[in-house]
Amino acid sequence: MKKRGYNKHNINHFKVMVLPLMITAIAIFVGNILTYVYNNIMIAFFISILAIVTFLWSQNKNIITPIKRLEHGINKIDLSNNLSYRLPIHRKDVFYSISLAINAILNKTEELFHKIKDNEEALMSSNDEIMAAYEQLRASQIELETKYSEIEQYSQELEKLKSHIEHMAYNDELTNLPNRRSFMERLSSELESKKEGAIIFLDIDNFKAINDTLGHVHGDELLNRVAYRLKLLLGANAFISRFGGDEFLILISDTDKESVENLAKSINDIFDEPFLLNNNKINVDFSMGITFYPKDSSDINELIMNADTAMYQVKATGRNHYKFFDCEMIESIKEKVKIETKIREALKNDGFVLHYQPQIKVDSLSIYGFEALLRFKNDTLSPAVFIPIAEESGLIIEVGRWVTNEAILQLYDWKERHINLKPISINLSTKQIMDTGYIEFLRAGLEKYEIPPEFIEIEITESILLEKTERTIEFLNELKQVGVKIALDDFGTGYSSLSYLTFIPVDKIKLDKSLSDKFLELTNIKVMDSLISLAHSLELEVIAEGIEDLEQYRRLRVGKCDYIQGYLFGKPIEINEADKIYDSNLSYVIA
């Protein structure tokens, strides 16, 4: 009981005495702790404030200020007004590298700007040119658009023209008959189809005389009327074409000899009635050659040649008729081919030679000059035979040049031997007018060997003048310009020879042998005297050829003929023989 009371008393005592002390002590302790904490807090606060201030100062110095400086520098960039401006450079600046990079960009920008500036004028100029080109193109476009409709119209016209050209390609322009090309294609088709038939080759007799008498306009009209009559006569199984000139070809399919012969007779019959042209009645006759296919040949060219050969046989035996081709006619063709081959070989292998026939002065009987006449060296074939073949084959062009060159060479030989030159006359074929290079060939030869052109005389025949074409007259005038002399050969064989003397540039006429034979008789001598006098009045010299009789010479001398040529004073001879009589007086011939 006492123990419990004590404890309670002690406890109370403790509460009274000890507890306040303890509280005080605790309070003091806590106060010290709080003071310590406060002090530490304040220290930490001030340190934080200092750190913040330091940080802010550092930020301001190292970041904000440089940023503001960079911003200020960037804001001063004005590419429009100041290309040379650059950012200030501060090596310790945190944006040092950025400033350098920006300045590098500014440098490049300035460089590019100057390049642009330098090219600005060129660009402006190019722009002006482009604009001008554009305007031109625009104008061209408008023009093209304007012409487009015209082109469409032209296109339609071209189609018509194309059709016309195709028609012309297969039809004769004058008669509107199928032409040579059409005929050849039709015949080729017949042969490929293994058909049988006949070809009639028609040639109008003496058409050239009709042309010369009435003129080419009426000649063309006549051809048109002939074509019309032929078309009316022929049936559906006959094909007629104009082959060229006054030649027509008729192809008849599925026929026999009797039918063809009847047709040939009918052709002659329908042309018994004359044509009326320019108030003239004109009778037309045909020479006709007939061949059969494939009996005579299956070759187009051979068939045409067969019909042509048969037609020429008709012309050679009287004209105005028809003949059927037969194998004997081939012999004539073979003979022509043989002679043509001889001509080619002679040209190639020096197989020709010139013979010289003297031309004599009537008053003094001295030799005036020589006519050069072509001969084969090793063949006696007459020029009357091989010259027409040379003309027909076209070889006359080369032959004519050979003769010309040989005559010039002979003159050169005489000149080199110091012999006084005498003229050499050479014959010019009608075909040689087509030799467009002959004039230059002649001029070049004379210049090369330094031969005066007056020592070459060119003899032309009346046949060269029949058509009086511009080309013929031009050719003769060009000869005269070279300086050579021109003689009209075979004078008197044509029906209007005197008319030629009024428009051709000739220096001399050669009276044909037929004139001498006819008009040197005592009863006709005045005709010859008048002819010579007329030529002299035209300032032309006269040479009579074919003189073989002494009495003819005497009468020509009385008639005052200038020169004579013929067997009386000399045949054509080789050059070595001509040299022997070169300066001779031939008065001994008439002694």
pLDDT tens-digit series, residues 171-209: 988 899 999 999 999 999 999 999 999 999 999 988 877
**Residues comprising the chain, all counted:** 591
The H-or-E segment that residue 511 falls in is: strand 508-511
pLDDT greater than 80 at residue 341 = yes
d(CA 76, CA 74): 5
Question: What's the confidence (pLDDT) of residue 19?
Answer: 64
Q: What pLDDT is stored for residue 379 in this prediction? A: 93
- CA dihedral 578→583→587→588, nearest 10 degrees, is -60
What are the residues whose beta carbons fall under 8 Å from the beta carbon of 378, sequence distance 6 or more? Answer: 351
Compute the CA torsion angle 439, 445, 450, 455 (nearest 10 deg).
-60
Helix spans in 394-493 (H): 396-416, 438-448, 470-482
The answer to whether 335 touches 342, Cβ cutoff 8 Å, is no
Select from 322, 341, 338 the least CA-distant residue to 330: 338
The token pair at 472 is 């013929």
Q: What is the mean pLDDT of residues 234-261?
A: 89
Q: What is the CA radius of gyration of the chain?
A: 61
HEC per residue, 351-389 = CEEEEEEEEEECCCCEEEEEEEEEEECCCCCCHHHHHHH
pLDDT exceeds 70 at position 347 = yes
* Contact (Cβ atoms closer than 8 angstroms) between residue 223 and residue 246: yes
Q: DSSP code of 129? A: H
| Residue 205 and residue 287 in contact, taking contact as beta carbons nearer than 8 Å | yes
Name residue 563's beta-bridge partners: 361, 543
pLDDT of amino acid 11: 61
Q: How far apart are CA 402 and CA 406, in angstroms?
A: 6
Domains parsed from the chain with CATH numbers:
180-326 (3.30.70.270), 355-590 (3.20.20.450)
Give CA–CA dist 478/435, Å, rounded.
13
For residue 490, give both structure tokens: 């075979």
> What letter would DSSP give residue 513?
H
User: Would you state the pLDDT for residue 20?
Assistant: 67
Q: Name residue 107's amino acid.
A: N
546 dihedral zone (left: phi>0; alpha: psi -120 to 50; beta): left
> Facing residues of 203 across strands?
247, 287
Q: Which pLDDT tens digit goes with each residue over 37-53?
A: 777 777 777 777 776 76
Rounded distance, CA 519 to CA 536, Å? 18
Contacts by 537-542, CB closer than 8 A, 24 or more apart? 538/501, 540/501, 540/506, 540/507, 540/508, 540/509, 541/507, 541/508, 541/509, 542/508, 542/509, 542/511
Of the chain, the end-to-end C-alpha distance in Å amounts to: 229
CB 246 within 8 A of CB 172: no
Q: Would you say the C-alpha torsion 140, 143, 147, 148 has a positive or negative sign? A: positive
Cis amide prior to 294 (ω within 30 degrees): yes
Q: Are strands 424-427 and 367-376 parallel, antiparallel or unpaired?
A: parallel
To 5 degrees, how large is the angle CA 566–CA 407–CA 511?
Answer: 30
What whole-number percentage of the chain has pLDDT above 90?
Answer: 44
For residue 328, give both structure tokens: 């004997």
pLDDT at 10 over 90: no
Of residues 282 and 167, more confidence is placed in 282
Q: Give residue 349's pLDDT band: very low, low, confident or very high (50, 70, 90).
A: very high
Instruction: Read off the pTM.
Output: 0.55
